[in-house]
């Protein structure tokens, strides 16, 4: 951390900061320019930050140098993490496709989705039991009934299952039925939930918040990891920008950026990123080519009857065709699928 | 709602949509142009939307015409709502200032804040007991102990108190101690929490999400109201944009925009919007002049020692000076303070 | 275009709009709902818009239905356009790489870049003679001297050349030396320049504005095309968002979105999008996989000595390695390279 | 400027940077932490930047400390600048309103606007002769004919006049007719135009670009000032964000932010910021209260017949009422009007 002093800072101002740093057991490195003086803080900056140095006389601003996340940081954990979701590997040289309906509507609908997903090559089944919806008048999910269908269908198909948990209560129920928990974009900074999920042993798919920076996203992963759960998978699902021709703007660069900052696996969700069925195939190809570890895609046996996200869901044939189209790209990327 | 048909839509495509609408008991108004045909949907559009009309053959897109929120909508409730927070009125011709520390740190710190706030003219005391923090390594709040201080200080000073609730569990505890619950920006679309808060009788201050549209924000208010709690106050606190010279970008226009769309009271939080103490005074004046019903401002007896948000907190003298400076603006705006 | 009437609109308000439409030779299609009345406008809406209908009594707002660009619109020109740049084809089943330095610094620097670009497989040489720089104290370009180098090197290497034109004056000079003119992001809505470029016969590469919507971008293309020049190539180069870990946010979805709206060829510039050398390879692969018609990449014989954009420039070896890495992706995408 | 070294940087890497700095006549201040080494650069950083230090072995990134604009910087010019526009003062304790139509349509229309503007208290008349329009099929302006009307009406009313210049050619014509030139948002980084305008003696109103940061905006002012013209007035007119309920998002905080960084006068344009007539009054009040030096407002004798921006233009009576409403706010802000 660097303390940038004001042009008008006095010698006394500078000395009191140095004294404060020494009192805290930190080193101060002074750098005097023609018009600006800088003080480099060496040591555990959190002690210094707790003193609100921005408010000390003569201070103009603070410039952070190192990241605040540690467990998620590739600097302290240089090998890529591979996460085992009940036998399915995510990360490393694996390529994983999670597919299934936005919302679980019935046993049959979920079963048909599972069969279609598995047949096309997807390894994990998704299905929403607790649905966060913009309007309170939209369908809100089957809750525990939906989770029971998930567990049943896992037994019958052998596919691990994932569901979104929208509250601590939902999480407590979900852990009994699923193999992977999803934290949705709207809950990426629901810190209570992150901490609860961190106390569980179940792997977690952490979606990026609607307008979260990559730094905030990795800090959200750190919330989970600092409670003990190291099995965090990141999923880029588009960010909010001024452009409205897609539902969100897929930040495809987030994949290589994350790769340079963290050892956690990285998926891409082209369904939510675009919101439009026609764009899912090109964006899936791009995600593979850019280096993602997998995809999360909405599949519904009959999108026209879906209770949620129908317009961005693929039907079984289209999903099968998509997977066929993706296979040579996955192979070219050197991944097992 | 308008259904825009593709240029390539056939007569059959058009007729099946009309038939579907009639089957649902809705009216269809057809408008044929040289290259595009439009179908106006008259009646309860939610029935039609549940059929995923975007996926019907020949449909290009849907254009929504009316808002999805009803209880928060000024069209159906034209008089401005005035909310009574334990004797303090918010809305109408009142002007209300909520002040206090970001985080409750001790009884003394909160008491000194309360005395300073009251002396300067603030009517409601704020204090955070559950703190959502970007990094898990930052101070997380005193929880119930902090709430007890709030209740004690309310008794001694007579000031109603507000605290942020970050989970259903926090809410269940908080309702026993405070007069007004705050939903923070990060939880604006924590729908579980919105519904729980909607079942309570306590007034709610709903902050705008970091990148929420005004439409989404009013739908979040609708979540609370549709559960029975009509006492919702909106608070603009800045949105995320590309500009980094302030912590967020205060969307000052949101005040008149909301005024034209809803009957709910509207506050402004210049502390979080700017993140910088020097900008709180000008932004407070702007908020009054633009027509806000009040302000929420961070005040701390000793910002330099604050455990959270010190750099954007005012000390007692500065807060007193600010209120003096604001009084003629409040008066000019025709408000009681 | 749809006219949405206010809830409070009178029968008279509605009738005067219908009368106005008929007076203009347009058709009005009325659709009355329980609370809202809509009027569909059929015919040339520009006549109606010129009357400022938003200001007519009883009107709430206008909802546009059809796009304002015509010549760039795939609806009126369904075949993909292939553009011939002095023998090099862009669009269709071709894949084109434009490479070279951000700024032309000397004959030798440009010549070395050309040799490296050609050897690796790039078909067109880029080089900036007029440099738009954020600070007036940065290097501003060699101007006509640089263009002369371009023309000389084109003769020697046989590669067509492209340069950015930043003003009408620069354009008048550049047309004498280059095969393709570039309009940079900062000039995407420099309408004077667009019109001038539209009067020329030379193909134009139109970069997306820093915060331009796809609709505005296609309207900018329309400015050029409506003056007679149909040879417009679009180039996505990242948009401005709140995320700062890359210089801009590459809007990869823009490629399929554009493909559905226009017949013009679409390139991607991963150098400006990311601003960081390490991300150019993954983003280039993504661009090919998503369906782009080509790439524009900054290459410099010695990036460490570059006068502009060194940190995002590739050196000859890295560029060669990149092209080798891209070839199987180009082949998989079914493109000739 | 701070050079942040990679964790893996060797002692040799560090020494070569220090040597490079010394060779350039700069000082290097070394600060070694447990995991990161920083090198503070003291002296003229532009020499060092020209060497592309980001590419030197072992360098992670550069952290700029001081601003790149000098002439516009309050640090080097602490007194507020007051600009004289043919007898009308802008800045200091003056409050200035610029009013008039978006586009000049005829002598009569401009004259009626001038009379209305002057009667209500506006000191400067605006009128567009060269119109940048999103679609090439919209009205493009009267050009020199419009400027002649401006000059005539200035003579008759005594009001100084302002017009937007959209190209160097337009500028060369306009300087003969007007007292103040406007650079529009779309041309804020049209550096050729900025340099030309900088060579003129006429004061310049520089609008903020659609997605320009405050830093870029001040650098654009620096372009003009570095050519000799110190008479630059800044005008905040809203930035592009994801929120669509207003045409742009007025960044009201930009006024106090600019005040802390520059000595140049600052105006606000509520017409373009909101795009909606009803919001102009509250935003104008906010602009005065936040500390702006003036307003630019669109006024048209008959907005319903305006060829451009009718929906956001005020008619003479509404403008008069607005000015009456604003007067007590201007007085409260301690300004002369």
Contact criterion met (CB < 8 Å) for B246 and D253: yes
pLDDT confidence bin for C265, thresholds 50/70/90? very high
Q: What is the pLDDT of residue A193?
A: 94
Summary mean pLDDT of chain B: 93
Chain D residues in contact with C133 by the CB 8 A cut-off are 191
Mean per-residue pLDDT of chain C = 93
Q: Chains meeting B at 3+ CB pairs closer than 8 A?
A: A, C, D
Task: Spell out which residues of chain C touch residue B34, defining contact as CB-CB under 8 Å.
Answer: 42-43
Residue B43 has pLDDT above 80, yes or no: no
B98/B60: higher pLDDT = B98
Which candidate from B46, B169, B211 shows the least CB-CB separation from A168?
B169
In angstroms, the separation between the Cα of residue B31 and the nearest Cα of chain C is: 6
CA gap B130, B303 in Å, rounded = 19
CA distance linking residue B126 with residue B144, whole number of Å? 15
| D260 touches A: beta carbon within 8 Å | no
Calculate how close chain D gets to A94, using CA atoms only, in Å.
Answer: 29
Q: Select from B55, B68, B137 the Cβ nearest to the Cβ of A68.
A: B137
Cα B329 from chain centre: 23
Contacts of A242 (CB under 8 A, 6+ apart): C211, C213, C239, D240, D241, D242
In 3D, which of D101, D150, D135, D142 has the Cα closest to residue D305?
D101
pLDDT at B222: 95
Asked if C38 and B34 come within 8 Å (Cβ–Cβ), the reply is no
pLDDT of residue C270 exceeding 90, the answer is yes
Q: Do A167 and B170 touch (CB under 8 A)?
A: no
Sheet holding D27-32, edge to edge: D27-32, D37-42, D2-5, D59-63
Beta-strand ranges (E) seen in chain C are: 2-5, 27-32, 37-42, 59-63, 83-85, 88-90, 96-100, 124-126, 161-164, 180-183, 204-207, 232-236, 266-268, 294-298
The whole-number pLDDT of residue D213 equals: 97
Best probe of the A interface among D31, D42, D211, by most A CBs < 10 A, is: D31
pLDDT at B305: 82
Q: Which are the contacts of C255, defined by CB distance < 8 A and separation ≥ 6?
A: A282, C236, C266, C268, C287, C290, C291, C292
Helix (H) or strand (E) holding B194: helix B191-199
ipTM above 0.90, yes or no: yes
Q: Within an 8 Å CB–CB cutoff, is residue A183 touching chain B?
A: no
Q: Which tens digits make up the pLDDT trace of B159-184?
A: 999 999 998 989 999 999 999 999 99
pLDDT average, residue stretch A281-286: 98
CA distance B147 to chain A (A): 18
Top pLDDT among B64 and A149 is at A149
Contact between residue C10 and residue B8 where contact means Cβ atoms under 8 Å apart: no
Using a CB-CB distance cutoff of 8 angstroms, which residues of chain C are in contact with residue A246?
A: 253, 257
Q: What is the mean pLDDT of residues A193-198?
A: 95
Measured between alpha carbons, how far is B160 from B178 in angstroms, rounded to an integer?
Answer: 7
| Residue in D7, D75, D242 closest to A75 by CB | D7
pLDDT at C33 over 80: no
For chain D, 337 residues long, the average pLDDT of each consecutive 10-residue run is 88 92 88 80 80 87 84 92 98 98 95 97 96 80 94 97 94 96 95 94 96 96 95 98 96 98 98 94 98 97 84 93 98 96
Question: Cβ of D241 under 8 Å from any chain B Cβ?
Answer: yes
In B27-126, which ranges are continuous DSSP H helix?
A: 45-49, 107-120
CB A169 within 8 A of CB B168: yes
Measured in whole angstroms, how far is the alpha carbon of residue B263 from the centre of its chain?
13
Q: What is the mean pLDDT of chain A?
A: 93
The percentage of chain C sitting over the pLDDT mark of 90, rounded to a whole number, equals 76
Q: Cα angle at A328 between A325 and A334, to 5 degrees? A: 140
Q: Which residues of chain C neighbour A245 with C-beta distances below 8 Å? A: 213-215, 253-254, 257
Q: Looking at residue A87, what is its pLDDT?
A: 97
* CA nearest to D217 within chain B: B243
Q: Do B29 and C29 touch (CB under 8 A)?
A: yes
Would you state the pLDDT for residue B61?
A: 86
What's the whole-number mean pLDDT along residues A198-222? 96
Q: What is the pLDDT of residue D63?
A: 84
**Residue D287 contacts B where some CB pair is shorter than 8 Å:** yes
Q: Is C169 on the interface with D (CB under 8 A)?
A: yes
pLDDT bracket for residue B32 (50, 70, 90): confident
d(CA D106, CA B326): 45
Identify any residues that bridge with A103 across adjacent strands, giving them in sequence order.
A128
For chain B, say whether C210 makes contact (Cβ under 8 Å). Answer: no
Q: What is the mean pLDDT of residues C32-37?
A: 77
- Residue D36 contacts A where some CB pair is shorter than 8 Å: yes
Residue-wise DSSP of B98-136: EEE-SB---HHHHHHHHHHHHHHT--EEE-BSS---SST
User: With 90 as the cut, is the pLDDT of residue A135 above it?
Assistant: no
Distance from C-alpha of A34 to C-alpha of D58, rounded to nearest angstrom: 27
| A2/D32 touch (CB, cutoff 8 Å), yes or no | no
Dump the DSSP string for C70-131.
Answer: -TTBTTS--SPP-EEETTEEESTTB-EEEEE-SB---HHHHHHHHHHHHHHT--EEE-BSS-
Nearest to A42 among D4, D33, D43 (CB): D33
Specify burial of residue A143 (Cβ count, 10 A radius: 0-12, 13-18, 19+). middle
What Rg value do the Cα atoms of chain D yield, rounded?
23
CA–CA distances in Å: residue A207 to residues A163, A226, A282, B193, C164: 12, 18, 21, 19, 40
Separation in Å, CA of C14 to nearest CA in chain B = 16
Q: What is the pLDDT of residue A300?
A: 95
Residues composing chain B: 337
> In chain C, what residues touch B65 (CB-CB under 8 Å)?
2, 4, 36, 38, 63
B239 CB near a chain D CB, below 8 Å? yes
Q: What percent of chain A has a predicted confidence (pLDDT) above 70?
A: 100
Strand partners, C204: C181, C232
- Which residues, in sequence order, are CB contacts of A133 under 8 Å at separation 6+? A139, A140, A308, B191
| Paired tokens of B55 | 């996926």
Q: pLDDT tier at A46 (50, 70, 90 boundaries)? A: confident
φ, ψ of residue B130 to 5 degrees: the values are: -120, 115
Q: Which residue has the higher pLDDT, A36 or D93?
A: D93
Mean pLDDT, residues B27-45:
81
All partners of chain C with 3 or more CB pairs under 8 angstroms:
A, B, D
A74 vs D: CB within 8 A: no
Residue B295 tokens read as 């302000």
Task: Determine which of B66-70, C205-209, C318-322, D276-280 has the lowest per-residue pLDDT on average.
Answer: B66-70
pLDDT of residue D61: 86
Average pLDDT, stretch A133-146?
85
Tell me, what's the pLDDT at C43? 77
Of D99 and A135, the one with more pLDDT: D99
C329 or B46, greater pLDDT: C329
Chain A touching partners, 3 or more CB pairs below 8 A = B, C, D
**Residue D31: per-residue pLDDT:** 81
Q: How far off is chain D from C120, nearest CA to CA, in Å? A: 23
The pLDDT of residue B154 is above 90: yes
* Of the candidate ranges A47-61, A117-131, B323-337, D1-15, the one whose mean pLDDT is the lowest: A47-61
Residue B66 predicted with pLDDT over 80: no
Residue D32's closest chain A neighbor by CA? A42
pLDDT in tens, C131-158: 887 778 777 889 999 999 999 999 999 9
Q: What is the pTM of this model?
A: 0.92
CA distance C207 to C182: 7
pLDDT score for A236: 98
Q: Is A226 on the interface with B (CB under 8 A)?
A: yes
CA nearest to A186 within chain B: B189
Give the closest-approach CA distance of A240 to chain D in angstroms.
7
- Mutation target vs B (from D69, D234, D246, D252; most B CBs, 10 A cutoff): D252
Contact D75 A40 (CB under 8 A): no
Residue of A nearest to B54 (CA): A311
Q: Cβ-count burial of D32 within 10 angstroms (0-12 exposed, 13-18 middle, 19+ buried)?
A: middle
For residue B175, give how far its alpha carbon lies from the nearest alpha carbon of chain D (Å). 34
CA distances from residue A78 to A68, B233, B284, D230 in whole angstroms, order as listed: 17, 48, 48, 53
pLDDT > 70: what percent of chain C? 100
Q: List, in sequence order, every residue forming a beta bridge with C30; answer none if it has no partner.
A: C39
Residue D132 sits at the chain C interface (C-beta within 8 Å): yes
């Amino acid at each position: 951390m660097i303390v940038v002093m004001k042009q008008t800072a006095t010698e006394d101002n500078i000395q009191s900061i140095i004294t404060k740093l020494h009192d805290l057991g930190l080193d101060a490195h002074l750098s005097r320019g023609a018009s600006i003086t800088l003080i480099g803080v060496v040591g555990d900056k959190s002690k210094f930050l707790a003193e609100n140095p921005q408010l000390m006389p003569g201070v103009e601003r603070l410039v952070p140098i190192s990241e605040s996340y540690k467990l998620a940081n590739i600097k302290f954990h240089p090998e890529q993490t591979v996460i085992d979701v009940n036998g399915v590997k995510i990360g490393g040289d694996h390529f994983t496709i999670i597919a299934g309906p936005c919302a679980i509507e019935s046993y049959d609908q979920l079963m048909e989705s599972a069969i279609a997903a598995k047949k096309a090559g997807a390894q994990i089944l998704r299905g929403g039991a607790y649905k966060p919806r913009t309007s309170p008048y939209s369908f809100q999910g089957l809750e525990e009934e939906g989770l029971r269908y998930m567990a049943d269908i896992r037994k019958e198909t052998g596919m691990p299952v994932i569901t979104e948990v929208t509250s601590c209560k939902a999480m407590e129920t979900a852990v009994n039925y699923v193999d992977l928990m999803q934290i949705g974009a709207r809950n990426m900074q629901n810190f209570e939930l992150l901490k609860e999920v961190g106390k569980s042993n179940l792997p977690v798919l952490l979606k990026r918040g609607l307008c979260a920076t990559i730094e905030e996203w990795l800090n959200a992963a750190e919330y989970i990891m600092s409670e003990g759960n190291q099995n965090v998978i990141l999923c880029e699902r588009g960010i909010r920008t001024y452009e409205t021709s897609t539902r969100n703007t897929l930040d495809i660069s987030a994949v290589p950026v994350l790769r340079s900052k963290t050892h956690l696996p990285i998926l891409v969700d082209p369904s939510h990123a675009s919101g439009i069925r026609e764009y899912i195939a090109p964006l899936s190809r791009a995600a593979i080519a850019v280096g993602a570890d997998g995809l999360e895609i909405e599949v519904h046996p009959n999108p026209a009857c879906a209770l949620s996200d129908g317009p961005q869901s693929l039907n079984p044939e289209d999903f099968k065709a998509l997977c066929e189209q993706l296979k040579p790209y996955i192979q070219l990327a050197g991944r097992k699928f």
